[in-house]
Structure 1
Amino acid sequence: MPEIIQTLQVNGTIAADSNGTLLVLSERLGGHDTFLTGQLQLGDAAPTAVRILTFDDVTVLRLLDQSPPALTNPWAGVLHLPHGWRARSIPEDLSTAATAARRDLRTLDEAELRYALTFLGEASTDAIRRSRIHAIVRGLPTSEGTL
């Protein structure tokens, strides 16, 4: 396992979808990017790789290992985060575009910022990235508080 920067006591319930088992945390994890990968320690079993999916009001762990440990409902364990907490930083190109258009990125709440940055981060070409920056900036209120 990589060097562990952060460990968290977690618990929740078991759910399933068409892609396999999901562990729904009883409390949403704040401060983590969606798709962050970690290791979940359940009792004395070997740690199992999980993908952390944090949405507006829930955090779900998707098991990545082919042979997951035995689970009981409800479950409890320790989540090891090899990358620790990740701050959501605004990229320079988005910040520059917002400033040039006199739009205020500070008006976005945590969920809106997460959606905007995920939308921007999924751009596959420079042209798509520029278009997405334009769309995000146009949706922001002006620095004076009006659209």
Structure 2
Amino acid sequence: MKVLALVLALAAIVSATPASRDRPNCACGMFVEMEDEVHKVFTLDPIDIDSCDAVNICKIHCANEFDRLTGGGDLNHETENGYKVGQEICLYMLNSNGIHNIFGATVYGYANLCDGPWMYDGQSTINKLCCYEGFYGPCQ
């Protein structure tokens, strides 16, 4: 988790833009940690907030978005397009990162307040992510 936190903090610094720092916002994402790599695998619905001090409001919003998308942290939960959450992530990893196979990864929910460092929102999947040549399946 320390590697994940460090990489997420660095990513927030690099990706922050001056214009986006002017208005309070709360971004949400799902990340997977694999060996020494961290990958953002899903962007969840953000919200505008009143203050960049609203850490708890941001974390709660992101945790709720994570639960909504995953049906309580379940990678087998069906999304609006009919795919399972796990399949969406496997396709994203294949198409965006060229990663064909993932074995036994946990997906974590994170919040990003006012383009600061990513903060763990307390949510993670109840089952492990396994991708086989871009297809989601049970971990063996």
- Larger Rg: 1 or 2? 1
Query: Which structure ranks higher in relative contact order (CA pairs < 8 Å, sequence separation ≥ 6)?
Result: 2
TM-score tier (shorter): under 0.3
Larger proportion of helix: 2
